[in-house]
Amino acid sequence: ETAATPAPTRAGAEPLARMRKAIARAMSDSKPGIPHIYVTIEVDMDAAMALREQLAESGIKLSVNDLVVKAAAKALTKLPAVNTSYSLTADGQPGITRHQQINVSVAVALDDGLIAPVVKDADKKSVGAISAEIRDMAGRAREGKIKQSELEGATFQVSNLGMFGVTEFVSIITVPQAASIAVGAVRKQPVVRNDQIVVGQVMNITISADHRIVDGAVAAQYLKELKGLLEAPLSVLV
């Protein structure tokens, strides 16, 4: 591995805030040290958006991200090779840790940086429970009241910039996780169904994976599983 190039010294530079300094250190550890591979898939979100509307009429409000987090966790149960970490064996040789828990961190933007509360055992929780937990932790994070234990133990990460109209982006993996997904906006565009051009709702998801332990084919299989769950959203609710 090559060492990161030191930043030049500038007389007018202002010091980074403590959170931004921690983010800079974590990202520097991740990007130079991890050989990232990126794979993107397009998801038909018509059924998912229709389900959200039906649930909202019953007083149950779920965000697209709530559905994605649950589907992401459920997909990891089918592709456990993604729920891993590159690590060293007892004798210092390159190795892999296969996580028994599926703990999904959700990136939350703050005024002075970024924080990622962790939904523990996300595969075993209902979408409603996940939704309430994310809202609670995100709210307390913005108030500076989140517990350190709620920021630790993630095995996978979901980052969503769809609310800003971003259609596609890539995320940096957080050490020691092996993968992260970047979720874009749900947008209307022409699609072909039964050889007819109609207006559909689509969303792009890009996975960033640690190529030392996750190959491109495995990353693609994971996205295919995730796509299938989101396109048949009732399967995400059970």
Per the CB < 8 A criterion, the answer to whether 176 and 86 are in contact is: yes
CA atoms within 13 A on the CB side of 201: 11
For 94, counting Cβ atoms within 10 Å of its Cβ (0-12 exposed, 13-18 middle, 19+ buried), the class is exposed
Among 211, 212, 220, 231, which one carries the catalytic annotation?
A: 211
Identify the bridge partners of residue 180 per DSSP, sorted by sequence position. 157, 208
Mark whether 211 is an active-site residue.
Answer: yes
Residue 30's alpha-carbon distances to 6, 59, 103, 219, in angstroms, are: 16, 41, 19, 18
- Quick one: three-class SS letters along 30-91? HHHHCCEEEEEEEEECHHHHHHHHHHHHCCCCCCHHHHHHHHHHHHHHHCHHHCEEEEECCC
Catalytic residues, by residue number, are 211
